Chain A
Amino acid sequence: MLKQAPIFIARKQELPLDSDSSSPFLKVMISIAVFLFAVTLAGVMSINAMLINWNESILGSLTVQIMPVNNIDKAKATAQTLAHQEKAIEALKTIEAVEKVSPLEDKQLQALIRPWLGDGVKLENLPIPRLIDVKLKKGATLDFAQTAEKLAEATPYASLDNHKLWLSKLISFADGLKMLALAALVLVILITSGAIFYTTQTSLGLHCYIIEILHQMGAKDAYIAQQYAKRTAWLGLVGGCIGVLLAVPTIFLISGLASQIEGGIISEARLSAFSWLIILSLPLFSGLISMLTAYYTVKNTLQKMM
């Protein structure tokens, strides 16, 4: 009985949504959105990877240098240098994140320069800086810029470890960049959902004759919303695949360019396997968002009819 009826195989759509003129527009729109989203997300994730590395390297401890005071009277010079060191120590101790401040003893300093100058060097005779080892509390983050300011106030002879200070500035810059990128991601989602919202509303208006008939036949709003959800999920999935397909070579291109930057700072930016997994699953994500947006747009719009 079933076999002799090929006419029943393809059930025609009650709402001819596939022929909506907005469908190609939505597909292109979603492709572009997912492309932008994927590239920006790759940026966020590599910034994150770098931040983790950088944060680790500035965590835990740092070194403060006290430049030697110049004076012909060596004893006086040493005394003045030590006085500046004392001021720096006092200043460091007032900082919340600091656990322990320990100036390096003469012996330790001599040990440090032994490989270069050998034994028996009189420290007073050399214009070498004195060093303070600062241990930070576990998990505490130090505001490098503020610490540098505090030290400068205490004594002009003190200076923070240059590399770490610079790195901390880079971290706050990267943090800002990350926030900006995250805001862009949210914006892309909002704009795409907005486009789906308006095209869905337009389509509902276009098909109101059919929808009225479906309602009269006893269709619930969910029945109509499901047809829209299905169609739009498909557009989101296909558009998402196109977007990701374009984004992957772009991401490779950008990271290739970035790796040419000197200094090894960017080398930590390589995306992890997990990050790639997220990027490759974006079509599912865009399909889901498209589906939910269409579904709730239909439900809400129909609510206003009898």
Chain B
Amino acid sequence: MLKINQGDPIIEMQNVGIRYGQGPEILSDIKLSLKKGSFHFLTGKSGAGKTSLLSMMYLAQKPSRGIVSVFGKNVNFTNRDSLAMLRRRIGVVFQDFRLLDHLSAFDNVALPLRVCGMEEQEVKKRVVELLSWVELSKHMQATPATLSGGEKQRIAIARAVINRPDILLADEPTGNVDNDIAPKLMKLFVELNKLGTTVVIATHSEKLISDFAYPRLHLQNHGLRIYNANDLTGMGGGSHA
């Protein structure tokens, strides 16, 4: 596998368009290059295409046109097994968490380790450690249905980071939880970024990100504009009350 150094592009898009079925293009002519170790917010009104753009990054969708490269690999010319190997290096927090309801918190968090065949003993060690770190040790055997929104979210985040991914993609991570959790969550993402993880966080909440001087990928009128930290002051669009 190609080694990617700090500062090298880790996600690249050229002339990317995406549409669903025979519908119109949701996104057109997207061009971007995210460097390894970078931190970006992905903004835009709801329906602007944030989830669609992220889903190409986490390799759940291929572009309808254009080139998407992740870890230096063009996804159109990567076979299924290799895509699976790339996904193991990407952690995703879904807007709706997507936990498996019939599994315990422990088994949900263990999932990424088990699918790549890790020894059960090592799985236990890592999962117990991480669950205690997100303060869910007491609920290890609880199923998601019995947990609160905030607890479910912490499970989703634990599952996204258990495999120590190179890229962490979070889709409106603060959308479904109480407001007082949001700052803690942002702190966690910042910490992970400091450890070298490339982070992209999609949100339509201006309030959440206004304190952070990270660059923004802003979606508007099917296109993408990139705002760097120093030209953020002029930006108005993209916020939701």
A interface residues with partner B (beta carbon < 8 Å): 2, 5, 7-8, 11-12, 14, 16, 209-210, 212-223, 302-303, 306
Contacts and interface: CB of A to CB of B under 8 A. Distances in A.
Contacts of B228: none
Nearest to B102: A16
- Among B83, B84, B120, residue most surrounded by chain A Cβ atoms (within 10 Å): B84
B62 A306 contact: yes
Contacts of A7: 104, 106, 140-141
The 10 closest A-B pairs by CB, nearest first: A218-B88, A219-B115, A217-B112, A218-B87, A220-B84, A217-B111, A217-B115, A220-B81, A218-B84, A7-B141
Contacts of B112: 217-218
A22 to B, nearest CB: 18
A212 B92 CA distance: 13
B186 interface: no
A279 B61 CA distance: 49
B71 interface: no
Contacts of B84: 215, 218-221
Contacts of B189: none
Interface string B105-121: 01100011011100011
Most buried by A among B80, B104, B112: B80
A227 to B, nearest CB: 11
B103 interface: yes
B190 interface: no
A11 B121 CA distance: 13
B116 A218 contact: yes
B140 A216 contact: no
Interface residues of B, number: 32
Contact of A215 (B62, B87, B114, B124): B87
B61 A210 contact: no
B134 interface: no
B30 to A, nearest CB: 18
A12 B87 contact: no
B41 to A, nearest CB: 22
Given A5-B124, A14-B111, A217-B112, A212 B106 contact: no
A224 B106 CA distance: 20
Contacts of A214: 111, 115
Contact of B100 (A11, A14, A218, A306): A14
Interface string B48-73: 00000000001111100000000000
A82 to B, nearest CB: 84
A14 B92 CA distance: 19
A5 B123 CA distance: 13
A11 B83 CA distance: 27
A221 B79 CA distance: 11
Contact of A12 (B62, B92, B104, B120): B104
Contact of A213 (B98, B114, B141): B98
Nearest to A223: B115
A218 B85 contact: yes
Contacts of A222: 81
Q: Which of A7, A216, A217, A220 has the most CB of B within 10 A?
A: A217
Nearest to B107: A12
A215 B92 CA distance: 12
Nearest to B123: A8
A216 B87 CA distance: 6
Contacts of B87: 215-218
Contact of B115 (A11, A209, A218): A218
Nearest to A299: B80
Contacts of B98: 209, 213, 216
B61 A11 contact: no
Contacts of A303: 80
A306 B60 contact: yes
Given A214-B111, A218-B115, A306 B61 contact: yes
A213 B92 CA distance: 10
Contacts of B100: 14, 210, 213
A11 B115 CA distance: 13
Given A14-B100, A212-B60, A306-B61, 8 more contacts: A5-B124, A12-B107, A14-B103, A213-B98, A215-B84, A217-B88, A217-B159, A220-B80
Nearest to A221: B80
A49 B81 CA distance: 51
A5 B140 CA distance: 11
B80 A8 contact: no
Given A8-B124, A221-B80, A223-B115, A216 B103 contact: no
Nearest to A222: B81
A167 B173 CA distance: 84
30 contacts: A2-B124, A7-B104, A7-B140, A7-B141, A8-B120, A12-B103, A12-B104, A14-B100, A14-B107, A14-B114, A209-B98, A213-B98, A213-B111, A215-B84, A215-B87, A216-B58, A216-B98, A218-B88, A218-B112, A218-B115, A219-B115, A220-B115, A221-B80, A221-B81, A222-B81, A223-B115, A302-B80, A303-B80, A306-B61, A306-B62
